[in-house]
Amino acid sequence: MIAKFQSSPYFTYLVRIVPFVAFAALTMMQGSFGETGAYWLYTLKTLIGALLIWIVWKYVKEMRWKFSWEAIVAGVVVFLLWVGLDGRYPFFFGNRDATFNPLQSYGEGNSLALIFIVIRVLGSSLVVPLLEEVFYRSFVYRVLAKSDFFSVPLSSLNWPAFIIVGVAFGFAHYEWLPGILCAFIYQGLVIRKGRLGDAITAHTITNFLLGLWVVYKSAYHFW
């Protein structure tokens, strides 16, 4: 019975939806446990996300890093857009405050604060790209094109899906404008290469560079 379920269309949907939804649900709860509670919840969220990736890894074949010069360029370009456009477009979600700054909570040089920062950089660089790229660029994009999404090649260009996913991804972030541009670049990379792995790598590079920028410039409002 288990083998039969694993071969069903419902299973192919669930392994791409459940990890992202669980991660997103924990993200929405992050501000509900006080200032320091958010750091612990992010740690828990990262561990759960990593566990879910490990569970579905063998079932989601497109969830693999692939390295190419296009992925590197895309990752760097999106990072530059993210920080370069900061403050140059209107925000629709009220005032943006730094909600994740362990150094402010615990003090400069505090070992626990440094651990939380490392976890944040690693979580955003290694866990988030896998979950988001599989959900947005592989699943949602293709299911908008055709309900039998697995029959839609990753190289397929569908303009309505391209626009809808890009806008949805953008407005899932406070930084909606670079988020939309980011989604277009990543999706374009998937279409160009005919695989998801380059977008996962680009997303990893973007988030890692952004994490370094946040720490170096104390630009914690990005977090």
* pLDDT, tens only, 57-83: 999 999 999 999 999 999 999 999 999
Q: How confident is the model at residue 92 (pLDDT cuts 50, 70, 90)?
A: confident
Cα separation, 192 vs 188, in Å, equals: 6
What does pTM read for this prediction? Answer: 0.93
Let me know if 93 is exposed, middle or buried by CB neighbors in 10 A (0-12, 13-18, 19+).
exposed
Domain ranges for the chain, please list them.
Answer: 63-222
Q: Is the pLDDT at 4 greater than 70, yes or no?
A: no
Q: Is the pLDDT at 104 greater than 60, yes or no?
A: yes
Q: Is the pLDDT at 2 greater than 70, yes or no?
A: no
pLDDT at residue 32 in the model: 81
Q: Is the pLDDT at 5 greater than 60, yes or no?
A: no
Report in angstroms the alpha-carbon separations of 190 from 24, 74, 75, 107, 129.
23, 11, 13, 42, 13
Q: Is the pLDDT at 99 greater than 90, yes or no?
A: no
Average pLDDT over residues 85-93: 88
pLDDT at residue 96 in the model: 67
The amino acid at residue 89 is: Y
Give the per-residue SS3 of 122-169: HHHHHHHHHHHHHHHHHHHHHHHHCCCHHHCCCCCCCHHHHHHHHHHH
- CA 105, 106, 110, 112 dihedral sign is negative
